[in-house]
Structure 1
Amino acid sequence: MKNILLSALLMASVMACNTNNSGRENASGNADFAKTVDDYYEERLKLFPLEATMQGDNWYNDLLPNSISQDFLNQTKAFYSSNLEKLKTFDRAKLSDQDQISYDILKRELELQLEQFKFHLEYVPFSQFEGLTLTFGQLGSGAGAQPFKTVKDYDDWLKRVSAFRVWGDTAVANFRKGLATGMTWPKSLVVKMIPQMTDLVVSDPAKSLFYGPINTLPKTFSEADKNRLTAAYRKAILEEIVPTYRKLGEFLEDEYLPKARTTSGVDAVPQGAELYQELVKTWTTTDKTPEEIYQTGLKEVARIRGEMEKVKTQVGFRGSLDDFFTHLKTDPKFYPYKQPKDVLAAFNTILARIEPNLKKMFTKTPKSKFEIRQTEKFREASASAEYNQASADGSRPGIFYVPIPEATKFNVTSGMESLFLHEAIPGHHYQISLQQENADLPKFRRFAWYGAYGEGWALYCESLGKELGIYTDPYQYMGALSDEIHRAIRLVVDVAIHTKHMTREEAIRYMMANEPIAEQGAVAEIERYMAIPAQALSYKIGALKIRELRAKYEKQLGDQFNLAAFHDEFLKDGCMPLDVLEHKMDAWANRQGK
C-alpha cells in the first residue's frame, strides 16, 4: 500500500523537465506566486530524483534516496508543511485566473500529501504491480528512462546501484513493522511478488537484465572506459543487485508469506476504512462516497450489457450473452496472430486508420514522437498494456507498451481499437504530451497527474471510435463495449472489495460473468485493485464527467459548439481535479456564447 497513496498523491507528480527549461518563467500574473510554485517544484525534484529521470531531467540521475526510511518521511513531511504555509500567505481572490487554478491544485495536493503519513504506507513498500523493485529493473535495463549515452551516464547508474541495497534492507525492516501492526499485503499478491524478485537472481552477470547497458556500450567510448565499466557492472550485479533481490525474495517467501493476511480489502488493515475514503477522494478528485460510486457502477454495468445484447443480435449469434462471451474467448478465428510482430502491426494499422479523422477533432497535436513496442520480457507476465510518456525535451518518444507473452493467445476481439485510443492516440499520448509541451504552465502543473482527469480522458477517447472512423467491425465494437463495461465493473468490485468484504474470488467471478475476459486477465485485474485501492475508480468517474460536460455545452452552445475547440480547451491547461476542471470549462463555454 505504499504506492497506493503515494501513486495517488504524486498526481502533481512533479517530475523534472529538461534542464534547458530550468530557467523558464511561467505565465503567472504574480511574480511572487510564480516563484513560490516554481521553488516548490525545483525543491521537490531533489527529494524525488527518480521522477526527474523519468521526465528526462538528468541533474539527479546518480541519486537514489531511501524513500521509505523514517528520516526521509520526516523530511518530506516538513517540506509539504512549509510549502503549505507559504501558499497560504497569498490572497487567492487577488490572483489571476491561471494562478487561482494553480493555487487550488497545489493546496489540495499538499493537504492530501500530509494526510498520508498517518497511515504508515511505508510498511508495504512495494507490491506485485509497482514499486522500486520493478522500476529499478526498467531503469537499469538500458531500455528505459535512465540514459546510457555517456561515460557519466554509466557512472551515474553505478551510484544509484550502490544505494539499492540500503533501500532493500529498509524494505525488509518496514515489511516486518507491517507484520507487527497488521499492515500487510494479501497472500495472493505476495505470491506474485516472489518470482519478480527471484527471476532477477543470476550467477552469470552477463545473463542479468542489468547487463543490458554493457551489451550496448557506445563505440565512441575508449577501451579503458569500456573495460572499467564492464568490470564495474559485473561487480555491481553480483555484489549489490543480485544479493538485494535474493534477500527480498527469500524474505517474502520464508517470513512474510506465511504471515500475510488472507483478506482481500484494505478495510482489513489498521485505519483501513478511513484510508479507503481518502483514496476515493484522492483518485476521483470528488466528494462522492464509495456507496454512490458502487450504485453508479451497477447502473452502468446494466446499461452496457444492453448494448452488448444488440451486438450479439447484429452478428446473428444464438445463445445467451454469457455464451457469446465464451464464443469470443474460444473461437479460433479470434486468435489470428502467429508472432508478436503481427500484433504490433495490427496496432500500427489502427493508427493509420484514425489519422485522417484526428484533424477534425483536434486543432493542437503533440510534437513528441510516438512508438509502439512489446513489453519487456522481465515484466511481461504481470503487465498490462500501458503508455510511458515522452521526455519533455523530445529526446525520448511516448511509448505504447503491449504485453505479448504468447502471440497465438492474443485475442483480436479484446478491444484492440479501444485500447489504442485509450493508451496511445488520442488518449494518453495527446493528453500528457500536450501538457508537457505547454511551457506557459507552471512546472508543477506541466508534469502533474490526476487519475480522474488523465484516465478519464483516456476512457472518454475510447468513446470517440466511431467518430474517428473505427468500430466498423461489430466484433471490435464489442471489444470497445467490453472495455467500457470493464471500467464500470471496477466501480462495483473495487468498492465491494474494500468496503463490503467481497473476496478476491467473488470479484473474479463477478468480472468474468459480466465481460468476455479470460480468468488469467480477471485475476490480474482484481489483484491490481487489491494492490492499489480506488485507483481503478478514476477512469469511469472521470469519463462520465467529461461526457457530461460535452453534452452540457453542446446543448448550451448549439451551433456554436465546436468539438475540436472543446478538446483543445480541455487539454491545454493540463491535469487538474474535476471540480477545478468544470469551473474552467464553464468559463470557456460562457466565452464561446458571446
Structure 2
Amino acid sequence: MKKITIVLAVLVGLQSCKQEAKKEESPNLSEEFAEVLNNYYEDGLKLNPINATTAGDHRYNDVFANALSDEYTAKAKAHFEGYKVKLANFPIENLTESEQMSKAILAWECDINLNEFNHNANLTPIDQMWSPNLFIGQLASGSSAQPFNTVEDYEKWMKRVDGFLAWLSSAEDKMREGMEKGHVLPKSLIKKVLPQLESQTVQDLDQHLFYSPIKNFPESFSEEDKAKLVEAYQTMIKDKIIPAYEKLHAFMANEYMDAGRESSGIQGEPDGDAYYAHQIKKYTTTNMTADEIHELGLNEVARIRSEMEKIKEQVGFEGDLKAFFDYVRNNKELMPFTEPKQVIDNFNAIHDRMKPQIEKLFDVKPKTPFEVRRTETFREKSASAEYNPGSLDGTRPGIFYTPIPEVTKYNVYSDESLFLHEAIPGHHYQISLTQESDVLPKFRKLLWYSGYGEGWALYSESLGTELGLYTDPYQLFGMLGAEMHRAIRLVVDTGLHSKGWTREQAIQYSLDNEAESEASITSEIERYMANPGQALSYKIGQLKIRELRKKASDALGDKFDIRQFHNQVLETGCVPLALLEDKINTWIKENS
C-alpha cells in the first residue's frame, strides 16, 4: 500500500500534540479558551441556522440564511478572521492535549473557509446533487430534521421558507453574474436540475412536497388551527413557492442552458486549477496534488482488479473481467425484489446478521437510534445512498436513505458493503459517537471533514468478514466493487478536473473497471462534475486509517486491541487526517 504523506502547514504547533506531559495552566486560561470555542459554535449556528436545526437545536427554525448575499459574505469573513485573531491569544504550550487539538482544528476551519472566498463557487449555487434547494425539500417533507409538532413549528417553517425564497432569487442573480464571468454549469448538469425544479411547480397541492406537513397534522391541533394553517400553506405554495420555481425553471431551461458549458471539468472555468487545488485540500485535508492522486488511483484500480479476478474464478465465470461486470450488472438472480419495502427489509436483515459480532470490534456503541428509509421521490432519480445524522440529544434517529427508483432493477450485490458504509459501523457510529461525547467541545460535534468521515466509512466496509458478512462471493465482490468505485474516483475526478477528460471518457473508464450500471455510473460522474474534489476523500481517508491500523498492529503485537484502536480513531470526532495520524502515533508510543 502506498503511504499517504500528510502536511498541514496551517496546524502550527501540531508536534506539541505528541507530548506526554503538558504544562500546568491557570483555570482562568482554560475557561477563557473554552469560552472562545463555545462562542465559535454559537456564532456558527447563527451563520448557519440549518446546522442548528439538524443538530436538534430549534432556536433558529424560522431562519434561512442567504449565504449568497454580500452582507452574509462580509459577516462570514469577519467571523473566521475574528476567531483567527482570538486563537493567537492562546499559546500552544499553555494548552492541554485536547485543547491543542481543538486549537489546531479551529485554525484549520478558519483558514480553509477563508480560502473559499478567494474563488467563485457561489456563482454556480445550484446543481443536481448538493445545493440547498434539495435539502430544503427534505425539510419540507415534514419527516426530516425540521419539526412539525406545534402550531408554532408550522409558523416557523413559513418564515424559513420566506428566507429560502430570498436565497432562490439570489441564486438566479448569481448565475446571471456567473454567465458574464464564465462560471456556469455544464449543460449535462443543467438538464438534471430542470426536472427537480419542475417537480415543485405542480398545481395539485395534495401532490406538492411543501404541502406534506398539512397532510400530517398532530392529533392535538384544534380544527380552528388546522383551518388557519391550511389556508396559510395553500397561499404560501400558490403565491410564493410555485411562482418562484417556475421563474427559476424558465431561466435555467432557456438563458442558462444556452450559456451552459460544453466542458465537463472545473478546468473549463476561469481559475479552475486553483479552485480544484483548494477543493482537494478541503476534502482530503492533505496537500496532495491532482497528479499524485491520479497516480494513486491508477495503482489502486490495478490492485483491486487482481482481487476481483479471484472472485470471478471462484464463481466459475469464464469470460474476462469486463464481461463479468456485465454479468453481475444484469444478473436477474441479484435483482430479487418487487416492492421497495423488500429493499429496506434486506438492509435490516444485514444488520441482524452482524449484531452478534459487533462487540468483537467495538466496545463503545452509540445510543442514538437508527433507521433505514427510502429516499424521497422528488430527488430519488439523482440521489445516491446517504446517511443523515440524528440530533445531538439522540431523540431523532440517524437515517440511512437508499434510493429505489426502479425496484425490479435493484441489484443487491453490494448491499452488505453499502450498509457497513452508510450505517453501522460507518457513518452512524462515527457521527453519533461524536455527537454523544461528553468531553468534546460543541463546535467539534458538528464538524465534517470528508477525508476522515468518508475515509472511516470506506474503512468500515473492509470489516465485513470480521462481522460475519461477505459469506456470499457476490457480496464479497460487492465490497471489492465498492472499493473499486472509490479508487476509480481518484482517477476520474482528477481526470475531469485537471486532465481535460470529458464526461463520456469518465463514464467509459468507470464502465471498463466496475460493475455498476451505466445509469448509476452516469449519475456518479455528474456528481463529481458538480462538486470537484469531494469524491477523492473516501479512498484517501480509508488508506490512511488502514495504514495506521497496520502500523499500530505491527508496533504493539500482542498488545494490539482492535477495539481500542477503533476507540482512538472515533473518540476525537471528525478531524483533519494529520491530527488523526499524530494521535495514533502518540497512542502507539504510550502503549509500546
* TM-score, length of structure 2 as denominator length: 0.94
Match of 1:46 in 2: 46
Aligned CA distance change for structure 1 residues 339 and 29 (closer, same or farther; 3 Å): farther
* Maintained 8 Å contact 1:29/1:96: no
* Maintained 8 Å contact 1:164/1:244: no
Q: 1:205-245, CA deviations, whole angstroms, 9 ceiling, x for partnerless residues?
A: 23211111111111111221111111001100111111111
CA distance in 2, matches of 1:222, 1:231: 14
Shift in Å at residue 29 of structure 1?
A: 7.6
CA distance in 2, matches of 1:316, 1:177: 58
Match of 1:17 in 2: none
CA distance in 2, matches of 1:181, 1:261: 12
* Maintained 8 Å contact 1:457/1:542: yes
Segments ≥4 residues shifted beyond 4 Å: none
1:128 corresponds to 2:133: no
What is the identity, as a one-letter code, of the residue corresponding to 2:271? Q
* Maintained 8 Å contact 1:164/1:241: no
1:370 corresponds to 2:370: yes
The answer to which of 224-233 and 113-122 deviates more is 113-122
What is the identity, as a one-letter code, of the residue corresponding to 1:402? T
List gaps (5 residues or longer) in structure 2. Answer: 1-26
Match of 1:574 in 2: 573
* Maintained 8 Å contact 1:140/1:210: yes
CA distance in 1, matches of 2:340, 2:532: 32
* Maintained 8 Å contact 1:29/1:99: no
Aligned identity (percent) is 49
Aligned CA distance change for structure 1 residues 30 and 498 (closer, same or farther; 3 Å): same
Match of 2:7 in 1: none
CA distance in 1, matches of 2:193, 2:28: 45
* Maintained 8 Å contact 1:357/1:469: yes
Q: 1:153-186, CA deviations, whole angstroms, 9 ceiling, x for partnerless residues?
A: 0110011122233222211110000000001111
What is the identity, as a one-letter code, of the residue corresponding to 2:538? Y
Match of 2:66 in 1: 66
Shift in Å at residue 508 of structure 1?
A: 0.1
* Maintained 8 Å contact 1:66/1:167: yes
Shift in Å at residue 276 of structure 1?
A: 0.5
What is the identity, as a one-letter code, of the residue corresponding to 1:142? G
The answer to which of 61-70 and 363-372 deviates more is 61-70
Match of 1:427 in 2: 426
Match of 1:535 in 2: 534
Secondary structure of 2:465's partner? coil
What is the identity, as a one-letter code, of the residue corresponding to 1:481? L
Match of 1:311 in 2: 311
CA RMSD of aligned residues (A): 1.1
What is the identity, as a one-letter code, of the residue corresponding to 2:464? G
Match of 2:299 in 1: 299
Shift in Å at residue 579 of structure 1?
A: 0.5
Output aligned runs, 1:115-264, within 5 Å.
115-264=115-264
Match of 2:267 in 1: 267
Shift in Å at residue 122 of structure 1?
A: 1.4
What is the identity, as a one-letter code, of the residue corresponding to 2:301? V
Shift in Å at residue 353 of structure 1?
A: 0.7
1:36 corresponds to 2:47: no
Secondary structure of 2:373's partner? strand
Shift in Å at residue 198 of structure 1?
A: 0.7
1:345 corresponds to 2:357: no
CA distance in 1, matches of 2:397, 2:208: 26
1:355 corresponds to 2:340: no
The answer to which of 552-561 and 43-52 deviates more is 43-52
* Maintained 8 Å contact 1:28/1:99: no
* Maintained 8 Å contact 1:297/1:490: yes
Match of 2:76 in 1: 76
CA distance in 2, matches of 1:531, 1:29: 44
Q: 1:405-454, CA deviations, whole angstroms, 9 ceiling, x for partnerless residues?
A: 111100122x1100000000000000000000002101111111100100
What is the identity, as a one-letter code, of the residue corresponding to 2:203? S
Secondary structure of 2:387's partner? strand
Secondary structure of 1:401's partner? strand
Match of 2:24 in 1: none
Shift in Å at residue 99 of structure 1?
A: 0.5
* Maintained 8 Å contact 1:389/1:432: yes
Q: 1:349-405, CA deviations, whole angstroms, 9 ceiling, x for partnerless residues?
A: 110111111001001000000001111111111111111111111221001111111
Secondary structure of 2:352's partner? helix
What is the identity, as a one-letter code, of the residue corresponding to 2:101? I
Match of 1:437 in 2: 436
Shift in Å at residue 254 of structure 1?
A: 1.1
What is the identity, as a one-letter code, of the residue corresponding to 1:508? I
CA distance in 2, matches of 1:166, 1:468: 49
What is the identity, as a one-letter code, of the residue corresponding to 1:151? V
* Maintained 8 Å contact 1:206/1:234: no
Shift in Å at residue 465 of structure 1?
A: 0.7
CA distance in 2, matches of 1:241, 1:160: 12
Match of 2:486 in 1: 487
Match of 1:408 in 2: 408
Shift in Å at residue 28 of structure 1?
A: 11
What is the identity, as a one-letter code, of the residue corresponding to 2:83? N
Shift in Å at residue 44 of structure 1?
A: 1.3
Match of 1:321 in 2: 321
* TM-score, length of structure 1 as denominator length: 0.94
Q: 1:309-329, CA deviations, whole angstroms, 9 ceiling, x for partnerless residues?
A: 000101111111111111111
What is the identity, as a one-letter code, of the residue corresponding to 1:302? A
Shift in Å at residue 331 of structure 1?
A: 2.2
Secondary structure of 2:236's partner? helix
CA distance in 1, matches of 2:323, 2:349: 30
Shift in Å at residue 121 of structure 1?
A: 1.7
What is the identity, as a one-letter code, of the residue corresponding to 2:385? A
What is the identity, as a one-letter code, of the residue corresponding to 1:274? A
CA distance in 2, matches of 1:64, 1:325: 45
What is the identity, as a one-letter code, of the residue corresponding to 1:348? N
Secondary structure of 1:283's partner? helix
CA distance in 2, matches of 1:299, 1:350: 32
Match of 1:11 in 2: none
Match of 1:446 in 2: 445
List gaps (5 residues or longer) in structure 1. Answer: 1-26
